[in-house]
Amino acid sequence: MATITSEVLTTPQAAPQTAPEKTAAAKSQYPGALVVVEGIDGSGKSTQLYLLKRWLEISGYRIHFTEWNSSPLVKSATRRGKQRRLLTPTTFSLLHAADFADRCERQILPLLHGGYLVLADRYVYTAFARDAARGCSPHWLRNLYSFAPVPDITFYFRAPLDVAVNRIVAGRPKLKYYEAGMDLGLSLDRAESFRIFQERILSNYDQMIETDRFVLMDGTVRVNKLQKLMRGLVGERVDLARFAPKKK
């Protein structure tokens, strides 16, 4: 099974930014397929994946949906850490890694081997972008998630920073402490801190476009037009007939 590989480092501390190692092309050793969406908050990725999911469900395809930071195994620990503001960049990263490992072992891999089309709202690239923005070493992060299967297709929804930030700020009464990157001391103003934090994450995502074979999607395009394009690309990259309902 192809995995996302990297060299081993002994420390999670930030290192000078260098281009990440190119990952091997996904060569599935299971009958299922993995479709991933990535992008900063407000880029439109979750909306598009939801629309794709509903289209596939209505058509009767065998699918499974999973999203970042959703495992019940570590949810209570993460919640307590956030409430007490105890999470350092490294502990925050390790909690997310434990969450992903649990979902990978209990959901993603079994279903891929069971012949399902797995749809993931955020994947390991979220850690590579966000945790690196918090100061964790990109090489350490790559090694931490080296067990993860490589997606068949990774959609990167990219919207201009101001557009994405305005979407989030306009839709929420108050940004949460860690969501806004307040733990990094970027600014005393939450909205400004959030903007700076998202700018760092966006830069990290952009560096992965070629090395991780992202399919770049314009997050400013009309929702229905973007969804039509997404469905077409999935059909080109994934043999959907393998997941279609059996004819009686």
User: What are 122's two structure tokens?
Assistant: 């955020």
Buried b (16+ CB within 10 A) or exposed e, 82-114: beeeebebbebbbbbbebbbebbeebbbebbee
**What confidence tens digit (pLDDT) does each residue in 191-200 have?**
999 999 999 9
Quick check: 12 pLDDT over 70?
no
**CA-CA distance, 106 to 234, in Å (whole number)?**
25
pLDDT, residue 28, reads: 61
pLDDT digits (tens, 9 = 90+) for 141-200: 999 999 999 999 999 999 999 999 999 998 888 999 999 999 999 999 999 999 999 999
Please report the pLDDT score of residue 248 as a whole number. Answer: 66
Could you report the per-residue pLDDT of 15-74, keeping only the tens digit for each? 444 444 444 334 568 999 999 999 999 999 999 999 999 999 999 999 999 999 999 889
Angle, CA of 43, 54 and 219, to the nearest 5°: 15
pLDDT for the residue 220? 96
Give me the residue spans of the domains in the chain. Answer: 33-232
Helix pair angle (89-103, 72-83), 10° resolution: 160
pLDDT at 21: 46
Residue 2 falls in which region: left (phi positive, over 0), alpha (psi -120 to 50) or beta = beta
Q: Chain-centre distance of CA 224, in angstroms?
A: 22
More confident residue, 172 or 138: 138
Integer Cα distance of 73 and 248 in angstroms: 40
pLDDT band at 75 (very low <50, low <70, confident <90, very high): confident
pLDDT at 140 > cutoff 60: yes
Is pTM, for the whole model, over 0.85? yes
Interval 84-95 mean pLDDT? 95
CB 227 within 8 A of CB 167: no
Q: Which residues lie across from 65 on neighbouring strands?
A: 119
Q: What is the pLDDT of residue 172?
A: 83
Q: How many CB atoms lie within 10 A of CB 24?
A: 11
Angle at CA 47, nearest 5°, toward 41 and 50? 130
> Tokens 């770049």 map to which residue?
216
Q: Which residue has the higher pLDDT, 172 or 96?
A: 96
Average pLDDT, the chain: 89
The stretch 129-143 carries a mean pLDDT of: 98
| Percent of the chain residues past pLDDT 70, beyond the cut | 88
SS3 87: coil
**Pairwise pLDDT comparison (13 vs 138), residue with the higher score:** 138
The CATH number of the structural domain formed by 33-232 is 3.40.50.300
Crossing angle for the helix pair 190-207 and 161-171, nearest 10 degrees?
140
Over residues 217-235, mean pLDDT: 97
Cβ neighbours of residue 136 closer than 8 Å, sequence gap 6 or more: 12, 13, 14, 89, 90, 93
Q: What is the model's pLDDT at position 122?
A: 97
In this predicted structure, what is the pLDDT of residue 214?
A: 98
Q: What is the mean pLDDT of residues 4-20?
A: 41
